[in-house]
Amino acid sequence: MKENSPVFLDDDQPHDECGVVGIFAPNENVASMAFFGLFALQHRGQEAAGIAVANGFTIRLHKDMGLVSQVFNAGNMEPLQGHYAIGHTRYSTTGSSSLHNAQPFMVETQHGPIAVAHNGNLVNSAVLRQELLQRGVGLTSTSDSEVIIMMLAGARGSTWNERIRSVMKKWVGAYSLVILTRDGVYVVRDPWGFRPLSVGLLPGGGHAAASESCALQTLGCVAIREVKPGEIITLSKSALTVHQAIPPNPRQAACVFEFVYFSRPDSTWNGKSVHEVRQHLGRQLAIESPVEADVVIPIPDSAIPGAIGFSEQSGIPYNIGFVKNRYIGRTFIQPTETLRQQGVALKFNPLPATVRDRRVVIIDDSIVRGNTTGPLIRLLREAGAAEIHMRITSPPILHPCFMGVDMGTYEELIAHRLSVDEIREQAGADSLAYLSLEGMMSAVGSTNGYCTACFSGKYPVPVQRQLEKASFEPQENGNND
């Protein structure tokens, strides 16, 4: 077990890679603004957080392991003075969970200091990393995000815009970036549009960018729009400028799992309300897999809109069946062995009054490893449920993600190993049904422009299937913790 690991209960959800923010706000405390922007993105990563601030001459940085509220305080934020800031909250994908992989990364270059925060994953990072090592470039971490910053440090061009554009042509995969120089913030999105990134106008002047629109709304932004694939947007005293650095890829690949689970329901992704799409997923699931039952309950929190949609479409009443302790999975204190055996009971308590002697439809957004589905169903049985029918608002996850989401390996994915009926039997449900891939895309409202590789196995870019999260860690011990 890694020291200071922030999660000791695997809640069987895929873990998103990161959240990023970028800010230019003259006459404002940009470090404080970055803090609250990251706070709104805490759901995207709980392992580490960092903020870098520039004042026109230098960049100051503070980062550490932990939640945003644990990493920052008045004392360590006081030195972060300036007009420009970027921030990052991390869940590790490529690179283990340790401080040397925490972001933002910062280096000195011949053009001045730069710092980078990255959301995503480069599928050609192994090749790029080897090229850097052959050129004599020293690497201090195991993260592909350091590959990005070192390539930027050595890029050719007379401006940062030109340098960024020159290396974008070499990157393959998912990257939503905020790049800090001593006098500007550059907001960059890959040409496939894998991961979300939005920009908005701050009420006091200046602009902000963030992984999700909900963070920009937290900062009071107006005129929010998504950064287009292949764009570089510059936030500086000379105002916001937009440059289409490289053409959007003909095959767009927005991550459909942002709708299923990752994004906050109050965000907009790819022009659509996340909350509304999740309700559509639930309605479509009720059409495809109806069941006679007395109550519909969600697994909190991301499955709530889907359960509402399922209830509305089916006519089966909706109610709360589980109460969730939202903080148990984010403590640094390890449980005793007795408490560890309690498993999901530490995180979820059933409401017997809702389920006793009733036929229950339990809605969840996904099943990844399958290690909590059975315990949750047992909790409902113990609470007196007469029947339990499991319904999932996405298709079976059959393939790992190589674009910046930790979904495990083929061996870990239960739907890759077992049939739907075998999963049902192992979990102890009376019935189990997933939403079809066609039904999911119908609920999203489009069959084109999305990456569905974790369901279909059709990756929009060639991937190294052997690439794993800790693939760059020293082989003798597997990580640097």
CATH of the domain at 93: 3.60.20.10
How confident is the model at residue 11, as a pLDDT? Answer: 53
How confident is the model at residue 160, as a pLDDT? Answer: 97
Which burial class, exposed, middle or buried, applies to 302 when counting CB atoms under 10 A from its CB (0-12, 13-18, 19+)? buried
How confident is the model at residue 212, as a pLDDT? Answer: 98
Identify whether residues 366 and 423 lie together within a single domain: yes
Q: How are beta strands 222-226 and 241-244 bridged, if at all?
A: unpaired
Identify whether residues 23 and 133 lie together within a single domain: yes
How confident is the model at residue 219, as a pLDDT? Answer: 98
Q: Which two tokens stand for residue 473?
A: 């860690």
The domain that holds 328 is classified in CATH as 3.40.50.2020
Q: pTM to 2 decimals? A: 0.90
Domains of the chain: total: 2
**DSSP secondary structure code for residue 227 in this structure:** P
Question: Is residue 66 one of the residues assigned to a domain?
Answer: yes
Beta bridge partners of 180: 115, 185
Question: Is residue 288 one of the residues assigned to a domain?
Answer: yes
Identify whether residues 343 and 229 lie together within a single domain: no
Identify whether residues 287 and 198 lie together within a single domain: no
Question: Is residue 2 one of the residues assigned to a domain?
Answer: no
Question: Is residue 7 one of the residues assigned to a domain?
Answer: no
Supply the range of the domain harboring residue 436.
Answer: 272-456
Identify whether residues 31 and 156 lie together within a single domain: yes
How confident is the model at residue 475, as a pLDDT? Answer: 38
Identify whether residues 244 and 302 lie together within a single domain: no
Question: Is residue 468 one of the residues assigned to a domain?
Answer: no
How confident is the model at residue 194, as a pLDDT? Answer: 97
Identify whether residues 296 and 215 lie together within a single domain: no
Which residues does 365 contact at the CB level (< 8 Å), separation at least 6?
Answer: 13, 260, 261, 278, 299, 302, 303, 306, 392, 393, 394
How confident is the model at residue 17, as a pLDDT? Answer: 64
Question: Is residue 476 one of the residues assigned to a domain?
Answer: no
Identify whether residues 157 and 20 lie together within a single domain: yes
Question: Is residue 74 one of the residues assigned to a domain?
Answer: yes
Identify whether residues 197 and 284 lie together within a single domain: no
Taking the chain (481 residues) in runs of 10, the rounded mean pLDDT of each run is 37 70 95 98 93 97 95 97 96 60 94 96 93 88 87 96 98 97 97 98 95 98 97 90 97 96 96 98 98 97 96 98 79 66 81 98 95 94 98 97 84 96 98 98 95 96 64 39 31
Question: Is residue 442 one of the residues assigned to a domain?
Answer: yes
Identify whether residues 308 and 390 lie together within a single domain: yes
Single out the residue in 253, 284, 314 at which a domain terminates: 253
Active site residues: 18
